[in-house]
Amino acid sequence: MNTLYSNKNLIELRKEIDEVDNEIINLIEKRFEIIEEVKKLKIKENIPIKHRSREEEIINKNISNLKNKSLSSLIKKIYNEIFSQSINEQMDAVDKFVDKKEKNI
């Protein structure tokens, strides 16, 4: 096997991975921008922060869309982490809103 040839392929594959990683980052940031709007709406409309059935629906839908089902556990972990971060941010925002309201700010 030609080492130069295989290294070039490895470099190209790593470049593809880097591009996919950039797409993932962009999509996560976009998702959290939308979550920011959801957070504002939930505070305004006094909607509960945690919505477990919605979380399960999202996880199940995305797992069912997987071509490679062996990634199911990973997808579940990723989404649970996203939900956890989202809930923490929403709770912080509610706490700040309540503090302002109590202080009449």
Residue by residue, pLDDT tens for the chain (105 residues) are: 556 567 779 899 999 999 999 999 999 999 999 999 999 998 899 899 889 999 999 999 999 999 999 999 999 999 999 999 999 988 888 777 776 666 665
Q: Are 49 and 94 in contact (CB under 8 A)?
A: yes
Do 76 and 58 touch, CB atoms closer than 8 A? no
Q: How many CA atoms lie within 13 A of 73 on its CB side?
A: 1
Contact 84, 97 (CB under 8 A): no
* Domain count across the chain: 1
- For residue 96, what are the domain limits? 3-102
CA pair distance 36, 89, nearest whole angstrom? 9
Question: Residue 24: which CATH number?
Answer: 1.20.59.10
